[in-house]
Structure 1
Amino acid sequence: MHAHNTDHFERQLQNLPQLGLGLGLRSQHFKYITENHPPVDWFEVISENFMDSGGRPMNFLRQIAEEYPLVMHGVSLSIGSTDPLNMDYLKRLKKLASEIQPKWISDHLCWTGVLGLNTHDLLPVPLNEETLNHIVQRIKQVQDFLERPLILENPSTYLSFQHSDIHEPLFLKEMAEQSGCGLLLDVNNVYVTCFNNEWDPIKYIEELPHERIVQMHLAGHMHCGTHIIDTHDSPVIDSVWELFRIAWQKIGGCSVLLEWDNHIPSFEEYHAEVLKAREYMEGEPGPIQMNPPSTTDLKVSNPVSFLVPEVSQELQ
């Protein structure tokens, strides 16, 4: 393939299917899915959970892949790192893709480590011209190697860099247009990021390149009063659903997926939560509440005790 063939990936991007309403595939539900064949439109798998595993997990995944469309979602590409791209990682990613034939492969606009160390966290990048040029070149390398467009997700952030001088949605727009990649719009991340950075979430969604958005994520979060932590451990709040309604109408529809990573409920409850999306695909948006909830509604009254229990005890 001709190196950096952006037009080729643009065409591939335009031909990606709309999959409907899907769920993140979690190991707690493997048995239920293979035995009950629930009417879910599609599943998203965390790439790293299967790249190096054989045996039972892959056996379940092969069974599920025979019956449902799959998408691969990664957390270790580290597209924003200054380390060279990890070609061993990319080879294993491509090998898994050749086996389960995902509709697309996604990851996050972030970096996960430096000097060969992995923090196992999705760390934000400074949003400026230098970072943009660096990431665009790396996306082109990844797409050339995988022979398919890469889909990148907006991160959840807790602060802004002083060196950032491009608003995040405009950064995503330039990144996608210059590299030919697609976007995964995480609506919950928009809400979390906009609350933490005091941005307008509706304006954020309006500024995105809607034609580039292949998929949306929905999830729950933890509100700590002064800040929100992206935890994926609870139902989607009303204001995130209303943001989803706005995004759905702007985009004109795309594949939608619910993530739930902690305190995972029964499969039936999990599926029922994503089906709520149907209620928000039409009609006028309701209010989007960006103020902290009342103290009686806070999931964590003392964020220090949530993050660093031993420090909290010393303070008391």
Structure 2
Amino acid sequence: MFDTGHDAALPAHVGIGYKAQHFTDLTTAPGPVKWLEIHAENYMGDGGRPLAQLRALTERFPISVHGVGLSIGGEAPLDTDHLSRLRHLCDWVHPASFSEHLAWSTHGDHFLNDLLPLPYTSATLARVSAHIDQVQEALGRTMLLENPSTYLAFDESTMDEVTFLTEIAQRTGCGLLLDVNNVFVSATNQQWNPTAYINAFPLAQVGEIHLGGHDEETDEHGAPLLIDSHGREVVDPVWSLYAHTIAQGGPKPTLIEWDNDVPDFPVLRDEAARAAAILTPARA
């Protein structure tokens, strides 16, 4: 089990995913936004305006670094060059949090532009735990592991998702990132109870919460099919599930995640204010 002993932590306030078009708004009138999240792979180059702006933002906001390219669940060994670049980024950003997804996105030499689900078995558990141990040792910091959005279940799974994530956290000492929208998407697609999932989740291990939008389609049988799109506002049922999560587990750093069809800053600020209205009473 990995233990840095002195990891920083995000404040139990609202953050947003940083987009360059919002730089001026964030430095002049951020409103309820108290921290920012960046995607690690967007900042692994050398120099340029993106890194200069990020450096300026680190002087104003705690930063969460969110990885999308490690393929934690992949069968192949982790890419040590990618890990080295990630370590370099974290060493100068000094993020308050680093997270990755419970998913895989590589096959051989090919990188797939998606985050694909895993069967929940003892073999997968051992592989994911070993990869997390490697990441935490390479970065010298504890990471958070995010629950995925899923559209199907594997017949070969021998445990449910909450049991799988709980066991990983116990084995590796990692924290968890709870994406409440992902819970709602998966529950709708697979017809299980999202509130029961939250009630069973190890909320004490949660270092960050994500809230985002999804698109609704229908499958070939006319049943609803939700797609985790990150391209619109958070829907009311997800807000209700989030409020229940905070009531159960207390205030947590909460991110408004909006990566596609990114709106003007006032729209994000309004979403952040809605999350803050739930968090503020919980902090009191």
Q: Same fold (TM over 0.5)?
A: yes
The letter of the residue matching 2:242 is F
Q: CA RMSD in A?
A: 1.6
How far residue 280 of structure 1 moved from its aligned partner, in angstroms, is 3.2
Distance 1:216 1:122, change over 3 A: same
CA contact (8 A) 1:182 1:213 kept: yes
Q: Which amino acid aligns with 1:171?
A: F
Q: Report which of the two structures shows the higher radius of gyration computed on alpha carbons.
A: 1
Indicate conservation of the 8 Å contact 2:72/2:128, yes or no: yes
Report what 1:245 is aligned to.
243
Matches within 5 A, 1:70-89: 70-89=63-82
Do structure 1's residue 156 and structure 2's residue 121 form an aligned pair?
no
Partner of 1:113: 106
Unaligned runs of 5+ in 1: 284-316
The whole-number CA distance in structure 1 between the counterparts of 2:20 and 2:159 is 39
Give SS of 2:176's match: strand
Q: Is the 8 A contact 1:85 1:138 kept in 2?
A: yes
- 3-state SS of the aligned residue for 2:192? coil
For 1:61 and 1:133, locate their aligned partners in 2 and report how far apart those are by CA, in whole Å. 36
Who is 1:98 aligned against?
A: 91
Tell me how far apart the structure 2 counterparts of residues 29 and 279 of structure 1 sit (CA, whole Å): 22
Counterparts of 2:280 and 2:59, CA distance in 1: 33
Of 147, 160, 170, the match for 2:163: 170
Q: Are 2:185 and 1:192 aligned?
A: yes
Q: Given the superposition, is the C-alpha separation of residues 282 and 104 from structure 1 closer, same or farther in structure 2, using an over 3 Å criterion?
A: closer
Q: 1:265 aligns with which of 237, 252, 263?
A: 263
State how far apart, in whole Å, the 2-side matches of 1:194 and 1:138 are. Answer: 27
Task: Name the CA shift for 1:37/1:53 in 2 (closer, same or farther; >3 Å).
Answer: farther
The one of 18, 22, 30 aligned to 1:38: 30
**What is the count of residue pairs matched by the alignment?**
275
Q: Secondary structure at the match of 1:278?
A: helix
TM-superposed deviation, 1:32: 3.2
Name the aligned partner's letter for residue 38 of structure 1: P
1:30, CA displacement in angstroms? Answer: 2.3
Distance in 2 of aligned mates of 1:171 and 1:69: 30
| Cα displacement (A) at 1:279 | 3.4
Shift of 1:79: 0.6
SS at match of 2:59: helix
1:2-31 per-residue CA deviation (whole Å, 9 max, x = no partner) reads: xxx53x24x446x63434110000122124
Match 2:56 to one of 53, 63, 82? 63
Matched residue, 1:129: 122
User: Structure 1 residue aligned with 2:212, among 188, 207, 219?
Assistant: 219
More divergent stretch after superposition (37-46 vs 141-150): 37-46
**What is the alpha-carbon distance in structure 1 between the residues aligned to residue 274 and residue 116 of structure 2?**
31
Alignment correspondent of 2:230: 232
List, as ranges, runs of 4+ consecutive aligned residues in structure 1 with deviation greater than 6 Å: none
In the other structure, the counterpart of 2:198 is 205
Structure 1 residue 150: Cα displacement: 1.0
8 Å Cα contact 1:249/1:281 also seen in 2: no
CA distance in 2, matches of 1:196, 1:54: 43
* Partner SS state of residue 243, structure 2: helix
| Residues 167-216 of structure 1: per-residue CA shift (max 9 Å, x gap) | 11111111111110000000000000111111110111111111100000
TM-score by length of 2: 0.92
1:239, CA displacement in angstroms?
0.4
Alpha-carbon deviation of 1:282? 8.3
Q: Which has the higher contact order (CA 8 A, sep 6+)?
A: 2
Q: Which runs of 5+ in 2 are unaligned?
A: 219-223
